[in-house]
Amino acid sequence: MRDGKKVVVGGKDRKLYIYDATSREFISTMHSNGFKVDGHINRIYCIKAHPDDNNVVASAGWDGMLKLYDVRKKKPFASLGQAQVSGDSIDMFDDMIVCGSYKNKDVMKTYSLSQ
């Protein structure tokens, strides 16, 4: 997280894991929200914490979805399509999220948190 108190990691098992940055102890897992917003269905390649809100984390990967998680609820609250990410290519600023893509066409997607 941007405050330096927590670390969020993810990978091929499609889940996000939160650890205490100081003690390195496991805190919790974030994955599915049940029927409303599912977690990732394939490998996660990029995770980014919101610069101003330590409770919001974005992740993307091979499944083509950008997932937004609420750390307090330990579940995703939004899922946005067409985020073909295979490296460190998510950035957030204020209301905007930018994702780079491995595709040859439409290599950058922008999203709004408020819409």
pLDDT of residue 20: 93
Residue 99 domain-assigned (yes or no): yes
Question: What's the CATH code of the domain at 21?
Answer: 2.130.10.10
Considering its fold, how many domains does the chain have in total? 1
pLDDT of residue 34: 65
pLDDT of residue 35: 56
Residue 1 domain-assigned (yes or no): no
87: its two tokens: 């490296």
Nearest in space to 97 (alpha carbons), one of 40, 45, 56, 38: 56
User: Per-residue pLDDT for the chain (115 aa), expressed as one digit of tens each?
Assistant: 777 889 999 988 888 999 999 999 999 998 876 656 678 888 899 999 999 998 999 999 888 889 999 999 888 888 888 888 888 899 999 989 999 888 888 888 899 888 7
CB 58 within 8 A of CB 98: no
* Residue-range definition of the domain harbouring residue 48: 6-112
β-pairing, 6-10 with 75-81?
unpaired
pLDDT of residue 59: 93
